[in-house]
Amino acid sequence: MKIDIRKAFYIALAVGAIFVGCNKWTEAEAIDLGKTDLNGTNKTDEYYASLREWKNTPGLPQTFVWFDNWNGVSPTGENSLRGLPDSVTIASNWGGHPKFDLSPERKADMEYVQKVKGTKVVVTLFSSHVGDDMPDDPIYNVGSSSDEAVVRPAIRRYAEAIYDAVVATGYDGFDWDYEPTVCGCTGAYLWQNVVQRRIFVEELSYWFGKGASDPNRDRGGRKAAKQGLLFLIDGEVGSPNTMGEDWLTYYVDYFVHQAYGSVTTSSLTNRVNGTINKMTNWINQGFITKEEIVRRCIVTENFESYASSGGGLLVQSSFVYVGTGAHAGVVQQIGGFGIYRPTFDYDQGKGDYNGSPEYYFLRQGITNLYRIYNELKKAAE
């Protein structure tokens, strides 16, 4: 294979940056406390090409954020996806602003990080009722029904409507925020009705994640899906009595655990164990391995509450799962770490981390995650 020497140099340079602490790809781009124009950059095309190539590395752990306070106008990392550290791999549109009617500024900001930095941008919806966030349709009025003949057509149409909106807006995937018990609510049937939520996961899997591209899967008359869209479920995955054993969870790309306040490896282990245990049937049938499940688990911290201290973020970003009991022998780095509302970490005034004050804890977590990834990779080789 012929290798372009110039390209090889930049790839080596970029990979080297990861080994020495991820400096090059963890420094926020041009965010000098709002004084620098984010449309400008002092980084080269070769740098960004290497960054995009690195983000496509098979098995790469993910750095995930639920991004809020997004306007795409203000030239600061606090308000723009472009100002996030370069090594952020998945950013979700979370917050009070529109999800499918993006302003021109938000649209341009999203397209920039997708095309230039290789960042995946997904959208988070609660989807606690059939039809939430989609145009009204009488078919969605299924209430609390558990009759599959009634529920299936409604949820099938709803899942496809979400897919159509995601594609039309230009997102890279969908994140279902699933919180059936902590919400303290009643009537959230898509969360709390065991039939509805099982069908919802199945129907989503025809449009997002690995199930959308399974060549051996009968789509049952559904149109072809765009390939490569991410399927994430966040919230109470891994918590007791939430995930169904009959969910088609082996099609989900990432389980994003709201491990808020978890500052010990034992608490993180218990959370991942909960996900593995609920997927025992699929493990036994050979659809997925325990190691692969761990690689799909992302653990996250709540910076609305823990920004000043970092909470458990530095433990979470350093977490390597070591199975015990029924899972003894499984040793696997977590699939990633993340932050809910990272803008609380922006310009905390805690001093510099690797030469920059922005995203003080987030960039330390990024350094932890990819340092361990490279150490384990080197040891395996």
Task: Provide the 3-class DSSP secondary structure of residue 362.
Answer: helix
Q: What is the predicted pLDDT for the residue at 355?
A: 76
Q: What is the predicted pLDDT for the residue at 184?
A: 82
Q: Residues near 87 by Cβ (< 8 Å), separated by ≥ 6?
A: 22, 25, 26, 63, 366, 370
Q: Which tops the pLDDT comparison, 332 or 74? A: 332
CB 346 within 8 A of CB 363: no
Q: What is the predicted pLDDT for the residue at 188?
A: 96
When mean pLDDT is compared across 66-75, 80-89, 122-131, 226-235, the lowest value belongs to 66-75
Q: What whole-number distance in Å separates Cα of residue 199 and Cα of residue 205?
A: 10
So what CATH class is 5-380? alpha beta
Residues above pLDDT 90, as percent of the chain: 80
Report which DSSP code applies to 28.
Answer: B
Among residues 194, 207, 232, 192, the alpha carbon closest in space to that of 156 is found at 207
**Please, what is the average pLDDT of the chain?**
89
- Please check the confidence at residue 166 and state whether its pLDDT lies above 90: yes
| pTM of this structure | 0.91
Q: What whole-number distance in Å separates Cα of residue 208 and Cα of residue 232?
A: 9
- Please check the confidence at residue 5 and state whether its pLDDT lies above 70: no
Q: What is the predicted pLDDT for the residue at 40?
A: 52
Show the tokens assigned to 290: 């325990």
Strands (E), 221-335: 230-235, 254-258, 297-302, 320-322, 331-333
Strands (E), 141-244: 173-178, 230-235
Q: Residues near 155 by Cβ (< 8 Å), separated by ≥ 6?
A: 130, 190, 196, 199, 200, 203
**Which tens digits make up the pLDDT trace of 15-48?**
444 443 344 444 433 333 233 344 455 689 999 9
Long-range Cβ contact pairs of 146-153 (< 8 A, separation 24 or more): 146/193, 146/194, 146/195, 146/196, 148/195, 148/199, 151/195, 151/196, 151/199, 152/199
When mean pLDDT is compared across 46-50, 94-98, 166-170, the lowest value belongs to 94-98
Query: Based on the number of CB atoms within 10 Å of its own CB, is 324 exposed (0-12), middle (13-18) or buried (19 or more)?
Result: exposed
**Which tens digits make up the pLDDT trace of 310-369?**
999 999 999 999 999 999 999 999 999 999 999 999 988 898 888 788 899 999 999 999
Q: What is the predicted pLDDT for the residue at 4?
A: 39
Q: How confident is the model at residue 139 (pLDDT cuts 50, 70, 90)?
A: very high
Residues above pLDDT 70, as percent of the chain: 88
Q: Residues near 325 by Cβ (< 8 Å), separated by ≥ 6?
A: none
Q: What is the predicted pLDDT for the residue at 41?
A: 59
- For the segment 279-283, the average pLDDT, to the nearest whole number, is 97
Show the tokens assigned to 137: 């349709």
* Strand partners of residue 176: 125, 233
- For the segment 269-279, the average pLDDT, to the nearest whole number, is 97
Taking each helix axis from N to C end, the angle separating 45-55 and 5-19, rounded to the nearest 10 degrees, works out to 60
Q: What is the predicted pLDDT for the residue at 241?
A: 87
- Please check the confidence at residue 12 and state whether its pLDDT lies above 50: no
Q: What is the predicted pLDDT for the residue at 26?
A: 41
CB 221 within 8 A of CB 202: no
Q: Which amino acid is at 345?
A: D
Query: What is the residue extent of each domain of the chain?
Result: 5-380
